[in-house]
Structure 1
Amino acid sequence: MSFSIDIREATGVRTLHFGSDWIQGAMRIARPWRLELDYTREMMASLLLRDDTRFPCKVLLIGLGAASLTKFIYRHYPLAKLTVVEIEPRVVAAARQFFKLPEDPLRLDIVIADGSQYIAEHDKTYDLILVDGFDANARPGKLNMLPFYQMCRSRLNNNGILVVNLLGRSRGYHASLERIRTSFDERALAFPSCDSGNVIAVAATGEKIEIALNELKKQALELKQKTGLNLLPTLVRLEQAKSCPGGILRI
């Protein structure tokens, strides 16, 4: 790829850039395991959706960036095994050098590959698939196509969850969400757009998800005590956007 990889620091935060001002990842230097960007925290709302102490056990992450999601799950879910697929080897090198990406081949498998090709060619299944892959121009390419989302569904275990970071500000996200819904028999929803313009879409297989918002808030408090991650603002925004008719989140 022709883009440069730049590392910048300001006010205690180190950021990753692909030859532009666009932030591809961030880490607060004093708290390297914390999720610094809003949209990364929002992607972790998926952890509230399955009442299973073993969830997530097997995780696939497509797109490494500054390794924020990888580090969070690695640290707080010690039984989870993670596979990370990143197309650009220089991103992996930068994550190791500047963003404290762990080296643990027993729990963390880093694969240099195209995410869409990898998921098509490997038949492993996962509890949780997180998709956050963009090029230097903030384009997801094949990672935003119907065949890719259909393949993601086929690679999820029963009761599995797909989470996708969609950019909603410039081109809109509705066409992307429709592709996900088509692939998951309409079992998908989008969280209200973050201030950054990111929209997080969540889709599910297996048992229907029907959780009262009040119960989600209890789970969010427990997650905050366990990990420091505060998802209550996300749940408030869901409530305000009327995404949960009758006060129940359904997917």
Structure 2
Amino acid sequence: MFNEIAVYDTNQLYGEMGKYRFLQFSDDAMQGAIDLKDLSRIVLEYPRAIIHLMEYNNPSFENLFIIGHGIGTIASHYPDRGVTVAEIDEKVVELSKLFFKYRKDNVIVGDGRQILMNEESNSYDYIILDAFNKKGTPLHLTTTEFFEMTREKLNSRGAVIMNLMGKIKNDKLIDAIHSTFRETYVYSKAFSLPGADESDIRNIIVIGSNRTIEFQAREMAGFLEIELGQGHIIVDSDPQFL
């Protein structure tokens, strides 16, 4: 309904030989990967970096809300903590169970913003936004109103972590999302993987909180701290929502 979805097996992933399986949308964007010889291994860099940010800033966190299921990498990593996942495409959930060994029954099918809106206030330590459509991060998950709602759902130590795709320089949408994010959260940091050129499209991780944010560079799976530019503030009444 939402994307053409493919599941591939391959003997090489990003130049590393082995036995891998990954899930991909029609725009060639990889949504998750597993090492078939070591299912406990987290293959992709961005979930490893997100896990470090969560555990370093709040090692005893208990409750996590994730928008965007993929193959369930982060949710699977925490079998003994309270994890709620929102995924708009039930086919993604089905494939995660059929091909990627996802075993938990904690995914709610539907729009992540609507599902989160119905959650209790002050109930989460972290909210992770890892949702994509053909145009990138869904715009209704990037507005001032959405970020204010996330703040209401987090406890006093809580933080929002976003996985975005874009350029680190002169990317109007990335700059706008980050600037809008900073309107809600006092502290924020942004990270990206290195690239050959500033115009390369890459994963960008943004974290925001009303408490200071710490990290250890050697544990960030290759992600480096970056400074993003100033952009416009995105609101629900923008023309693209009408």
Global fold match (TM > 0.5): yes
Q: 1:138 aligns to what SS in structure 2?
A: coil
Q: CA deviation at 1:67?
A: 1.1
Moved over 6 A (4+): none
Distance 2:32 2:10 in 1: 13
Query: Which protein has the bigger helix share?
Result: 1
- Sequence identity percentage: 24
Question: Residue 69 of structure 2 is aligned with which of 43, 64, 67?
Answer: 64
Q: CA deviation at 1:68?
A: 1.2
So what's the TM-score if we normalise by structure 2?
0.78
**Match of residue 148 from structure 1:** 146
Contact 1:166 1:198 in 2 (8 A): yes
Aligned-pair Cα RMSD in Å: 2.5
Q: CA deviation at 1:18?
A: 2.1
Q: CA deviation at 1:140?
A: 2.2
Q: CA deviation at 1:19?
A: 2.6
So what's the TM-score if we normalise by structure 1?
0.75
The letter for the 1-side match of 2:130 is: D
Distance 1:18 1:37 in 2: 16
Distance 2:50 2:83 in 1: 16
Distance 1:210 1:144 in 2: 21
**Using a 3 Å threshold, how does the CA distance of structure 1 residues 194 and 123 change in structure 2: closer, same or farther?**
farther
**Match of residue 233 from structure 2:** none
Query: Which protein has the bigger strand share?
Result: 2
**Which structure 2 residues correspond to residues 102-141 of structure 1 after superposition, within 5 A?**
102-103=103-104, 105=105, 109-124=106-121, 125-141=123-139
Q: CA deviation at 1:159?
A: 0.4
**Match of residue 23 from structure 1:** 30
1:100-142: per-residue Cα shift (whole Å, max 9, x none)?
1123x4xxx2101101111223225201111100113434231
Q: Does 1:204 align with 2:209?
A: yes
Distance 1:202 1:189 in 2: 5
The letter for the 1-side match of 2:176 is: A
**Using a 3 Å threshold, how does the CA distance of structure 1 residues 193 and 89 change in structure 2: closer, same or farther?**
same
**Match of residue 231 from structure 1:** 220
**Match of residue 240 from structure 2:** none
1:217-237: per-residue Cα shift (whole Å, max 9, x none)?
6xx7xxxxxxxxx53644xx3
Structure 1, unaligned stretches of length 5 or more? 221-229, 244-251
Contact 1:39 1:194 in 2 (8 A): no
Q: Does 1:32 align with 2:32?
A: no
Q: 1:147 aligns to what SS in structure 2?
A: helix
**Match of residue 192 from structure 2:** 192
**Which structure 2 residues correspond to residues 5-16 of structure 1 after superposition, within 5 A?**
5-11=5-11, 12-16=19-23
**Match of residue 226 from structure 1:** none
Distance 1:168 1:5 in 2: 21
Distance 2:202 2:221 in 1: 19
Aligned pair count reads: 212
Contact 2:86 2:112 in 1 (8 A): yes
1:130-170: per-residue Cα shift (whole Å, max 9, x none)?
11001134342311222111111111011011100121229
The letter for the 2-side match of 1:191 is: F
Distance 1:20 1:166 in 2: 15
1:63-107: per-residue Cα shift (whole Å, max 9, x none)?
001111111233xxx2x111000000000000001111123x4xx
Distance 1:188 1:29 in 2: 36
Structure 2, unaligned stretches of length 5 or more? 12-18, 196-200, 229-242
Q: CA deviation at 1:193?
A: 4.2
Q: 1:101 aligns to what SS in structure 2?
A: coil
Distance 2:194 2:45 in 1: 7
